[in-house]
Chains A and B, each alone.
Chain A
Amino acid sequence: MSARRSSGRQSNSENYMDYSLLFIVIFLLGFGLVMVYSTSSYEANLNFDGDSAWYLRKQLTATILGIIAMFVVANIPYHFWERFAALGYIVSVILILLIIPFGHEANGAKRWLYIGGISLQPAEAAKLGMILFLASMICSMGKSIRTRKGFYTVLAVPVPIALMLWKITSNMSSAIIVMGIAVLMLFVSCPDYKRFIIWGLVVIAGAALLVFAIVQMSQSDAENMGFRFARILAWLDPEAYASGKGFQTLQGLYAIGSGGILGKGLGASMQKLGFIPEAQNDMIFSIICEELGLFGAIAVILMFIMLIWRFMIVANNAPDLFGALLVVGVLGHIAIQVILNIAVVTNTIPNTGISLPFISYGGTSVVFLLTEIGLVLSVAKGIRLKDL
C-alpha cells in the first residue's frame, strides 16, 4: 500500500470511477423502475384508490436513497469498514432476533422490522454484514485458510445467521444466499479445487436423492408427504398442483410461454392483471418475458452477465485481498440471487421466494444492493490504471 501511495499515478487512481459498472447498474435500476410500474400499476390502481404509481413512488424513493448511499460509500476508502466487521455480524444477529418480538408480518411470514417509520428486512442487512465479516476474517486468517480447520471455520461462520434466517424469518432463500456467499468467498480465497468439486458433487447427489425419496414416499403416503413436500412435488408437476403450491409457478409459466420470441409489448402483459399476485415482486422476470419476449429476457440476462464481468475485473484488479473479497462477496450475492430467481421463475428449481436484484420491488433490497455497489466502486477507486 505504501508503494502505491508513492507512485506518480496516485492522483489518477484516486479519481478512477468504474463508469461501465455504474452505467450497467443505473440501466438496471431504470429498467427495474419501468417494470415495477408496468407490473404494479394495475393492482395499485385497484388497491390504492386509483393511485397507479403507488409502488413506483415507494421504489423510486428507496432507489434515490440507495444511490445516495452508493455514492457516499463509494467515496469512503473501503478499509474504513474493516473495523466494523465484527460489529456488522453482531448487528445482523440482533436485527434478526428483534424480529421475534417486533417483527411485522406480511404474506404469512415475519420478515420486516419497522424502525422510525421505515421498514427494514434484516435478511438484506445480514447479507452485507456477512460479506464484510468474511472478507475481514479471511484476510486476517492468512495462509491458515488452506488448512482443514481454516476451511471449516470459514464455512461455520455463516451457519448461525443462515439458521436464524431460515427458522426465525422462515426465509430459506436468504439463508441459501448467505451460505452461498460464504462458499463463494471461501472458494476464491482458497487455492484448493478438489474439495469444492467433491462437496459440490455431494450436495448435488444429496439433493437428487432427496427429491427421489420424496417422490417415492409421496406415492405411498400421498396425504402426509404431499402436504409436507408439496413444494417439491409442485415443482415436478405444477399443473397437478395448479390451485395450491403450483399456482404461482404455473401462472409464471403462462406468462413466460405466452411472451414468445418478441413478447406482447411493454405494458401489454395479461398475467399481471391479478393472475400473478404481486407480480412486481419475485415473479417480475416472468412479466419481463411476457412483455418483452425472449429477446428482452436475454437482454436482461446479458446485463447481469456484464455486471458480473465488471465485478470480476474489479475483483481481479483490487489493490488487496480485502478489497477483492468484498467484490467477490457482492458478485456472489448478486449472481446467486439472479440465477436462483430466474431458475425459480422458469420452474428450473423448486419455488422459493427470491427477488431479482435491482428490478424486483423492494426498498431494503435496493438500498443494500446499492450500498454493496458503493463498496465495489470504492474498491475500484483503488485500482491503479496500469493494472487494467
Chain B
Amino acid sequence: MKEAEHTHKTYHRNKTVAVMFICLLLFMGLIARLVYLMVFQSEYYTQKAKELHERERTIKAARGRIIDANGEVIADNKTVCTISVIHNQIEDADRVTEVLSKELGLSEEYVRKRVDKYSSIEKIKSNVDKSVGDIIRAYELAGVKVDEDYKRYYPYESLASKVLGFTGGDNQGIIGLEVKYEEYLQGRAGTILTVTDAKGVEVAKAGEERIEPVNGDDLYISMDMNIQSYATQLALQTMETKQADSVSFIVMNPRNGELMAMVNVPEFDLNNPYTLPDGVNAEGLSEEKKQELLNGMWRNGCINDTYEPGSTFKIVTATAALEEGVVTVNDNFNCPGYVMVGDRRIRCHKIAGHGAENFVEATMNSCNPVFVTIGLRLGVDNYYKYFKKFGLLDKTGIDLPGEAGTIMHKKENIGQVELATISFGQSFQITPIQLAVTAASVVNGGNRVTPHFGVRVVSSDSGESRSFTYKVRKNVVSKETSETMRYILEQVVENGGGKKAYIEGRRIGGKTATSQTLPRGSGKYIASFLGFYPADDPEVLALCIINNPQGVYYGGQIAAPVVKELFENILPYLENMDYNK
C-alpha cells in the first residue's frame, strides 16, 4: 500500500512540476508580449491615447482693426464673455445658481435647470460684457467657466456698411473689406489642449498646454470718415427730397485710385447686419426669401451692379475721337434735333435741335447727334480698340469682392445703330466704379489706375507695416488729349449742362447724364453727375448717381448740385488736411 502510493506520487509530482513549468513558460511568453507592447509599441499607443484624451479648445485671435485715413478706428473688437457651467465640477449648486442669476439678470429657474443638467459643459449666456465676466470670475466658483471671446464692433454703425462689411459667428468676414482682407485681418487662432475623460469632461488635475494666438493685422484704408460721413448725409438728403430708390456716391483720388468715400444709401447697421430695414416684414418669409432680402440689403451698388452710364460716357467717346484725330475742338457741327443712322432716326434730347455748334459746345450741350456722328467717324474697330485700351471690358480690380463685369455687345454684333447708341452711353452696361476710374484716367494725364481702399497692413504684435501696391497702366490716353478733355469738361461746368455744379472761384470739370432704365418707357431714370477738381490738375473726383428720382430727373438739374455741395464742403477740408500733397 505504502509502496504503491509512493510510485503513484513520484509521477504525479513530476507532472505537477511539469504543470508548473508550462505555466512558467506561458507567463514568460506573456511577459515578452508585455515588453513588446510597453517598450517597443509604447510610443505608438501613448500617441494614440493622447489623441483620445486631449481636446483642443481654440483661443480666438483678435481680428485686426480697420482704420481710416485719419487714424480713426472704424472696425474694432469688443471683448465679450461666454459663461458656462461644468456639472461635475460644481461644488455649491445653490450658490452658483444664485450668483449667476443675479449677475446675468436671468431667472433662477433658467439657471438652475442648466446647473442641474448632467452634461459635460452647459452654456448659460454668451456675449456677456467683459466687466460682468470679470465680476463672475472674481467669485471663484468651482464649476463656473468664463471664456473670453472677441466680437466685431463698428463704432460708426451704418457708415460705409457696404464697403466695410461685417463678420460672422466665427469672426470671419462675410462681405466687403472684411472678406477681401480676411487673410490679414483674421490672425491665427491659438489652442488650449486639455485632457478630458471619455465623456469630454475636463480633468482638472491634468493641466493644460497653450499655444498663444497671433492677432490679426490692422488694415489702414484710404477712406476718410469725414468725407464718407458728409457724402452719406448728402446722399440721404437727396434720396429723401427726390424720393429716389437709392443714391450712390464715389469719391476718389484720380491720381492714384485711392477711394475716399463710397456711399450707397440706404446703408445698413453693421452691428446688426441681419436685421432687415424698417418696413420689411420678415415674418412668414422662407429662409431663402429672407436671405435674398438680406443679400439685397448688403449689395454694394457701386461695384456689384451695372447700369447704362448715358451721357457721362461721352467722355470716353470724345477722348477716343480726339486721340484718333477724327475730330478737333474747333470742328463745327449742326444739330437739327435728330440724326439718321441707316434708316433709324436718333433724336437729340433737345427736340428743336442745338443748331450750329462746335465740338466743345456740343459736349457742353451733351448733344447726341454730334456724338453719334463722331462715333460713326471712329468706326467699330477704332471704338473697340479704345474700349480695350481703357480696360472697359475688364474689371477695375478694386479691392472689394463681387465686382460686376461690363455687359457689352460682341464686336462682330456692333452695327451702325449699336455704335451710334454706344457713342452716347446707351445699349451697354458698366459699373459706377468702372465709369469713375475710366473718367479718372482721362483727366489725370492718361494713366489707368486701380481703384482701392487698402493702403497698408500693420502687424499688431511687431508693428511691422506692409504697404500695398496697385497696378497703374501709363499713357492710356496722351497727355495732350487728357488736357483737352479737362478743358472741355471744365467748360461743361462753367457754361454747359453741368453749370449747377459750378462753385465761384473753383475750377471744376464734369459731365452730366440722364439715362432711362430698361425697359424703355418705364418712366424710370438714373440721374448722375461726374465732377472733378481742380479742373487743370484733378485731386478729387466724385460721381453721384441718383436711382429713380421722382419729379425732375435730369442729371444736370439734380445730381450736379449734390456734387457741388459735396465739393463746397470737402474742398476746404482737403486743402486744410493737405490731403494730396
Is there an interface contact between A255 and B27, defined as CB atoms closer than 8 Å? no
In the complex, chain B residues whose CB is within 8 Å of the CB of A189: 12, 15
Is there an interface contact between B13 and A316, defined as CB atoms closer than 8 Å? yes
Complex CA distance for A324 and B49, rounded to whole angstroms: 46
In the complex, whether A301 has a CB less than 8 A from a CB of chain B is yes
In the complex, whether A271 has a CB less than 8 A from a CB of chain B is yes
Closest to A191 in B: B11
In the complex, whether A339 has a CB less than 8 A from a CB of chain B is yes
In the complex, chain B residues whose CB is within 8 Å of the CB of A346: 30, 33-34, 37
Complex CA distance for A275 and B38, rounded to whole angstroms: 19
> B37 touches which one: A257, A298, A316 (CB < 8 A)?
A257
In the complex, chain B residues whose CB is within 8 Å of the CB of A178: none
In the complex, chain B residues whose CB is within 8 Å of the CB of A315: 16
In the complex, whether A131 has a CB less than 8 A from a CB of chain B is no
Complex CA distance for A273 and B49, rounded to whole angstroms: 12
Closest to A297 in B: B34
Complex CA distance for A353 and B572, rounded to whole angstroms: 90
In the complex, chain B residues whose CB is within 8 Å of the CB of A342: 30, 34
Q: Mark A244-285, 1 if CB is under 8 A from B, else 0.
A: 000000000111111111000000001101110000000000
Stretch at the interface among B192-200, B212-220, B267-275, B358-366: B192-200
In the complex, chain A residues whose CB is within 8 Å of the CB of B20: 308-309, 312
Closest to B2 in A: A3
Is there an interface contact between A321 and B8, defined as CB atoms closer than 8 Å? yes
Is there an interface contact between B49 and A255, defined as CB atoms closer than 8 Å? yes
Is there an interface contact between B198 and A275, defined as CB atoms closer than 8 Å? yes
In the complex, chain A residues whose CB is within 8 Å of the CB of B42: 257-261
In the complex, chain B residues whose CB is within 8 Å of the CB of A274: 197-199
In the complex, whether A343 has a CB less than 8 A from a CB of chain B is yes
In the complex, chain A residues whose CB is within 8 Å of the CB of B50: 258
Which residues of A in the span 185-230 have a Cβ within 8 Å of any Cβ on B? 187-191
A-B contacts counted at CB < 8 A amount to 128
In the complex, whether B203 has a CB less than 8 A from a CB of chain A is yes
Which residues of B in the span 10-46 have a Cβ within 8 Å of any Cβ on A? 11-13, 15-20, 23-24, 26-27, 29-31, 33-35, 37-39, 41-42, 44-46
In the complex, chain A residues whose CB is within 8 Å of the CB of B88: 46
With contacts A275-B198, A335-B23 taken as known, whether A261 is within 8 angstroms of B12 at the C-beta atoms is no
In the complex, whether A332 has a CB less than 8 A from a CB of chain B is yes
Count of B residues near A, CB < 8 Å? 42
Complex CA distance for A14 and B39, rounded to whole angstroms: 49
Is there an interface contact between B34 and A339, defined as CB atoms closer than 8 Å? no
Complex CA distance for A261 and B46, rounded to whole angstroms: 12
In the complex, whether B5 has a CB less than 8 A from a CB of chain A is yes
In the complex, whether A144 has a CB less than 8 A from a CB of chain B is no
Complex CA distance for A328 and B24, rounded to whole angstroms: 15
Closest to A324 in B: B12
Closest to A250 in B: B48
In the complex, whether A348 has a CB less than 8 A from a CB of chain B is yes
In the complex, chain B residues whose CB is within 8 Å of the CB of A254: 45, 48-49, 52
In the complex, whether A304 has a CB less than 8 A from a CB of chain B is yes
User: What are 14 A-B contacts defined by CB distance under 8 Å?
Assistant: A189-B15, A190-B15, A253-B45, A256-B34, A257-B38, A257-B41, A257-B42, A289-B34, A298-B31, A298-B34, A309-B20, A316-B12, A335-B23, A339-B27
Q: Name 20 extra pairs, CB < 8 A, besides A289-B37, A316-B17, A339-B26.
A: A187-B18, A188-B16, A254-B49, A257-B41, A257-B44, A257-B45, A261-B42, A274-B197, A294-B39, A301-B31, A305-B23, A312-B20, A316-B13, A321-B5, A321-B8, A324-B16, A339-B30, A343-B33, A346-B30, A346-B33
Q: Chain A: residues with CB nearer than 8 A to chain B?
A: 3, 42, 46, 184, 187-191, 253-261, 270-271, 273-275, 289, 293-294, 297-298, 301, 304-305, 308-309, 312, 315-316, 320-321, 324, 328, 331-332, 335, 339, 342-343, 346, 348
